Amino acid sequence: MTSTHFASLYTISLIFILFFSTSLADIVPSTTPLPPENACNTSLDPKYCKSVLPTTGGRQNIYGYCRSSLGQSLWSAKKFAALIDQYLKGSATLTKSAIQALEDCQLLAGLNVDFLQSTSGTINMTQTLQNMQTDYLHSLLSAVVTNQQTCLEGLQATASAWNVGNGLYTPLSDGSKLYGVSLGLFNRGWGQKVNMGKWGRGRKLLFSDTESGRHGRLPLSLSSQHSEVFEKASGRKLLQSSSDTVVVRGIVVVNPNGSGNFTTISGAVAAAPNKTVITDGYFIIYVVSGVYEEYVNIDKNKQNIMMIGDGINQTIITGNRNVADGSTTFNSATFIVVGQGFVGVNITIRNTAGAIKNQAVALRNGADLSTFYRCSFEAYQDTLYTHSMRQFYRDCDIYGTVDFIFGNAAVVLQNCNLYARLPLQGQFNALTAQGRTDPNQNTGTSIHNCSIKAAPDLASNNGSTQTYLGRPWKEYSRTVYMQSFIDSLIDPAGWRAWSGNFALSTLNYSEYNNRGPGSSTANRVNWPGYSVIDSTNATKFTVTSFILGNNWLPATGVPYIGGLL
Dihedral (CA of 361, 496, 531, 451) sign:
positive
Q: How far is it, in rounded angstroms, from Cα 233 to Cα 253?
A: 10
> Helix (H, G, I), strand (E, B), or coil: what is residue 189?
helix
> Helix (H, G, I), strand (E, B), or coil: what is residue 550?
helix
- 525-539: string of b/e by CB count within 10 Å (b at 16+)? bebebbbebeeeebb
DSSP states of 382-429:
T-EEE-SSEEEEES-EEEESEEEEEE--EEEEES-EEEE---STT--E
Does 114 qualify as catalytic in the annotation? no
Task: Tell me how crowded residue 517 is: count the other CB atoms within 10 A of its CB.
Answer: 11
Q: Outline where 90-235 has alpha helix (H).
A: 96-123, 131-157, 159-165, 169-190, 224-234
- Given 104, 382, 403, 491, which residue is catalytic? 403
3-state SS, one letter per residue, for 296-365:
EEECCCCCCEEEECCCCCCEEEEECCCCCCCCCCCCCCCEEECCCCCEEECCEEEECCCHHHCECCCEEE
Q: What are phi and psi of 432, to 5 degrees?
A: -130, 150
3-state SS, one letter per residue, for 486-516:
ECCCECCCCECCCCCCCCCCCCEEEEECCEC
Catalytic residues: 403
